[in-house]
């Protein structure tokens, strides 16, 4: 079984994710094999918040080449986590904004 810190890889900081923070939605890159329930439990355990909803998407790796060599970037799984109304915000994101 993976720990919560293995499931949540890193936060994603884009303009769109900053706009979603106003409605208590936070974006993370997560382990590709993690399901929504595991992601919800990991966010609640690591940040001490209450999660209302989790949306996930898989972003396929792009084809890249370097000279005559071709390859693919790695495929990533993105999770958008929505917190409950009564829950406090995630301090890590609040300090970045």
Counting beta carbons within 10 angstroms of the beta carbon of residue 93, is it exposed (0 to 12), middle (13 to 18) or buried (19 or more)? Answer: middle
pLDDT digits over 81-93, tens only?
A: 999 998 888 877 7
pLDDT digits over 15-61, tens only?
A: 999 999 989 999 999 999 999 999 999 999 999 999 999 999 999 99
Greater pLDDT, 81 or 97: 81
Three-state secondary-structure class, residue 94: helix
Q: Where do we find the tokens 């890889």?
A: 9
96 within some domain: no
**Domain encompassing residue 34:** 4-84
What CATH number should be reported for the domain holding residue 24? 3.30.70.330
**Which structure tokens are listed for 85?**
């109304």
What is the per-residue DSSP string for 14-38?
Answer: -HHHHHHGGGTEEEEEE-TT--HHH
63 within some domain: yes
What integer pLDDT is reported at residue 91 of this predicted model? Answer: 77
């Amino acid at each position: 079984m993976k720990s919560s810190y293995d499931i949540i890889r890193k936060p994603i900081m884009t303009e769109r994710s900053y706009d979603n923070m106003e409605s208590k939605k936070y974006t993370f890159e997560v382990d590709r094999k993690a399901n929504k329930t595991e992601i919800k439990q990991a966010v609640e355990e690591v940040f001490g918040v209450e999660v209302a909803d989790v949306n996930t998407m898989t972003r396929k790796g792009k084809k890249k080449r370097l000279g005559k060599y071709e390859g693919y970037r790695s495929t990533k799984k993105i999770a958008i986590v929505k917190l409950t109304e009564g829950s406090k915000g995630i301090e890590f994101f609040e300090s970045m904004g």
